[in-house]
Amino acid sequence: MQKEIWRELKTEKIEDAQTIVFGIPFDEMCSCGRGASLAPDKIRELSMYLPPVTEDGLIIDKKIFDYGNINKNGDVNTYFNQLCQEMQRLLKYNKFVVALGGDHSVSIPLRKAFAKNNKGKRIGLIHFDAHADFCDIYDDSKYSHACVNARSIEDGFPYNSVLCVGIRSFEIQELIYFQKHPESKVIKASEMFEKSFSYILEKIEKQFENYDAVYLSLDIDCLDPSMAPGTGTPEAGGLTSRLLLQLVKNLMVDLPIKAMDIVEVAPPRDVNDITSWAALKIMLECVYYENRGKN
């Protein structure tokens, strides 16, 4: 019997799903190594082989509706407008939405839609990454994957609602930005190495106390290249997959995370699909633990 993508989790009816997944096969705004456009289909392919069970042996009891890929048709502005509109439509189902990138620039329209759909609410953004992504312009573009957080501020996320986690690379213009806006917080990878797990978890959760809705943006290069080699801009000194899994599992339970993206997985640059497997593992743990603490 041939396995299907998402295996026992898959449902053909969006109404029966607790999670909506869609792919964004786009990497034109990547500044270094491309290949992330192939990630959505690679992650789906691997999902046929990973059982719908958490790492702790808990059966995942939530259904996934796969919306398919949203392909580029037109220029980048047109495409990003389309992604924003599609994301808004999917968020209105009031289900957990997972976007599979793509380079990190695709997060710009997704977060814009999230801010629009939660207008009037207290919204937050957790940005796991090796890079701060606060450039105003990079490679002559405001839509570079290095400009994601700068655009999110413009699109409705307050300065003090953005927390960057795992950072270990800064452009000079970003350091100037942080001097001007100390309310935008960063947890550096070096700090995460020095401090305990409970300290880091508490620091993240305290940042988002009493928030109504939180967006989780997960650039796979937050992981050390030894654990995620298949990415366009690897940076030494990153998080372990163990630490990242423990953090996201707790955050999904304790915070009102309503949507997430997983980006910058580049299968052509990978080794034995290590990075794609990591992305899939993280995603399925998030699917299980999302809203678990409120049930």
Using one digit for the tens of pLDDT, what is the confidence trace for 101-124? 999 999 999 999 999 999 999 999
Domain spans, the chain? 7-294
- How much is the pLDDT for 1? 54
Output 30 or 241, whichever has higher pLDDT.
Answer: 241
User: What does the pLDDT average to over 217-239?
Assistant: 97
Beta bridge partner(s), residue 23: 69, 100
Give the DSSP H/E element, type plus range, for residue 241. Answer: helix 241-254
Beta bridge partner(s), residue 167: 188
Output 269 or 33, whichever has higher pLDDT.
Answer: 269
Beta bridge partner(s), residue 125: 162, 215
Q: What phi and psi values does residue 290 have, to the nearest 5 degrees?
A: -55, 125
29 sits in the region (left: phi over 0; alpha: psi -120 to 50; else beta) called alpha
Cis (ω within 30 of 0) for the bond into 102? Answer: yes
Tens-place pLDDT, residues 157-192: 999 999 999 999 999 999 999 999 999 999 999 999
Tens-place pLDDT, residues 60-106: 999 999 999 999 989 999 999 999 999 999 999 999 999 999 999 99
Select from 3.30.43.10, 3.40.800.10, 2.102.10.10, 1.10.10.10 the CATH code of 7-294: 3.40.800.10
Given pLDDT bands bounded at 50, 70 and 90, which one contains residue 295? very low
pLDDT at 12 over 90: yes
Give the DSSP H/E element, type plus range, for residue 179. Answer: helix 172-180
